Amino acid sequence: MSLSVNAGGGSSIKESLASWGDLAGLLRGGDQGAIVPVVIPRDNRGLRWTVLVWFGLFALCSALMMALNASAGGFVLGVAYVVLAVPTLIVGVLSIVVAGLWWWRSSIIEIEEGTHGILTKYGAIVKPIGPGRHYLWHPWSRVDFVVDTRTEIPYTAPVLACPTRENVPLKSIEFFLKFQITDPIRFVTIIGASNFDLVLSSAVQDAIRQRSRLVNTESAYDLRGSNVEDMRRLLNGQLEKYGVRITGCNIPDVQLPSQYQQHLSTRERVAKELVAYEQEWELTRKRRIDTLLMDIERSKKTRDAKIVEVNASLNKARKDVAQMLEEQETEAQRVRYEIETRGRADLVAAENEAKAQERLATAYRDNRAVLEYELARRRLDVGATLAGRAPRPVVVQTEAGAGDGSALSTLLTAQLLPQVMDGRGARTPLGGSGGSGGAREVLDSAQGAVAAAAERQQQLADEYQRQQGAAMREQFERGEGYGGQGRR
């Protein structure tokens, strides 16, 4: 919305009377530089459409009368009345239709977006109506005011000769605010746009003067862009009863008296020179700092180079040490492998020797079994020989009842038996004493052979045990452990 500054340099608020077509231009652009938040629309509806209604009713009544006269009169007169009644009827109907359209079209009103209309009936306010199309069917209903309720309306109010704390009048303080109409009915009924201009200007002047009384003259420029939230709350408290809310405000400009302006210009010049000296010193200090930083960076680079050399030497030493350790580890691994190989070879030799001794023992055991078998066989032969040469009893059987059971017969038989046995013994290959001596010799030789074989087998077993113990002691002394597994 455009602003206009009046003779005092501030904005002015007023309400205007305009047709419905000029409402948007006035609310958005103002009227002759003044802010127009309220527009009174001209109501051109009136009751002129009722003329057509009365004319239509008269035409319908005339057509009805002509129709009655046509039915009551003769043929010629009836035809004439009918010819006149039909156009009259058509004219009456058309008049009523046009009057209805006129009434319908004049009852339509359109409220702009962001505005509210104040609806009245018989001059009394009924309600506010929102944006959009509305129908006022009642002839005495009308919209008396259209109020802008969405736009934050800007307002400037320069205040002249505001005294400071030292009672020095400032040249002017420009105050800028934005307000919004929140309750259109209260705004138009309580105060109105023109009166609101006076009230708002007075309230702003009082607030600005109260603020200027709190500051010194030298710090008056601090009012520019300062926090004026307390002033906004104060103005809202004063204007809330009128349905208006201040949405924002600030102080864009403060003008001091000429004497203080010169004084402040001198102070500003000195302050600028001070700032220039400070900037020059800051540049000098920065140059010195940059020089020191460059020296520090140069020292750091030299130090980094030396660190790189030291790290290279250290890496080379570590590499040499690692290589030497690797060679020693390789040599130790080789020696360990040799020891393990020699130990495994000795273990294999010991195992082979043990297997040979085991086979020899098995052979001795088998020989012992053969000797035992031979001894047993010879024992059987000797037993058979001895059994063949042993005396045998002779059973003399006599028949029962033969009468040979006397003592004489028994004596004769005992005398004849040795002769019979001596004759049989002379027919054998070996004599009685010679055969007994040969069997004994054979038995003694067999027992001696068995004893010699057993003694030899025991000697071999003891020798095998001694060799096994010696091999195990050597293996443990070499640190290979049992079974050829050396310590890793």
Check whether residue 201 and residue 327 sit in a common domain. Answer: no
How far apart CA 82 and CA 422 sit, in angstroms, is 204
Decide: helix, strand or coil at residue 44.
coil
Check whether residue 243 and residue 323 sit in a common domain. Answer: no
Q: Establish if 241 belongs to a structural domain.
A: yes
Instruction: Determine the number of helices (DSSP H) and then strands (DSSP E) in the chain.
Output: 9, 10
For each of the chain's 488 residues, which pLDDT tens digit applies?
333 334 456 778 887 777 777 777 787 777 777 888 888 887 766 667 777 778 888 888 887 877 777 776 666 666 777 777 778 888 888 888 887 787 777 777 778 888 888 888 887 788 888 887 777 777 777 787 888 888 888 888 888 878 888 887 787 888 888 888 888 888 888 888 888 888 888 888 888 888 888 887 777 777 887 788 888 898 888 888 888 999 888 888 877 777 776 776 777 777 888 888 888 888 888 888 988 899 898 888 888 888 998 988 888 888 888 888 888 888 888 888 888 888 788 788 878 877 887 777 777 677 777 777 777 777 777 777 777 765 556 555 555 554 445 555 566 666 665 665 555 444 444 344 444 455 566 556 656 665 676 677 677 767 777 877 777 677 666 665 444 444 43
Check whether residue 243 and residue 264 sit in a common domain. Answer: no
Q: Establish if 123 belongs to a structural domain.
A: yes
Q: What is the dihedral of CA 209, 213, 216, 222, to 10 degrees?
A: -40
Domain that holds residue 303: 258-337
DSSP summary character for residue 31: B
CB atoms inside a 10 Å sphere around CB 292:
10
Q: Is the dihedral angle over the CA atoms 191, 192, 195, 198 positive or is it negative?
A: positive
Q: Name the CA radius of gyration of the chain, rounded.
A: 76
Check whether residue 124 and residue 180 sit in a common domain. Answer: no
How far apart CA 177 and CA 10 sit, in angstroms, is 11
Domain stop point among 88, 116, 148: 148
φ, ψ of residue 179 to 5 degrees: the values are -125, 160
Check whether residue 239 and residue 285 sit in a common domain. Answer: no
Check whether residue 184 and residue 223 sit in a common domain. Answer: yes
**Overall domain count for the chain:** 3
Q: Establish if 97 belongs to a structural domain.
A: yes
Q: Establish if 51 belongs to a structural domain.
A: yes
Check whether residue 50 and residue 144 sit in a common domain. Answer: yes
Decide: helix, strand or coil at residue 379.
helix
CB atoms inside a 10 Å sphere around CB 175:
26
Q: How far is CA 330 from each of CA 294, 338, 413, 486, rounded to the nearest angstrom?
A: 52, 12, 106, 18
φ, ψ of residue 77 to 5 degrees: the values are -65, -35
Domain stop point among 222, 257, 292: 257
How far apart CA 201 and CA 373 sit, in angstroms, is 151
Check whether residue 23 and residue 34 sit in a common domain. Answer: yes
CB atoms inside a 10 Å sphere around CB 119:
19
Check whether residue 247 and residue 263 sit in a common domain. Answer: no
- Work out whether strand 35-41 and strand 13-18 pair parallel, antiparallel, or are unpaired: parallel
Check whether residue 113 and residue 186 sit in a common domain. Answer: no
Check whether residue 23 and residue 108 sit in a common domain. Answer: yes
pTM of the model as a whole: 0.44
Domain stop point among 304, 320, 337: 337
CATH code, domain carrying 232: 3.30.479.30
457: Cβ–Cβ under 8 A, 6 or more apart, which residues?
361, 364, 365, 367, 368
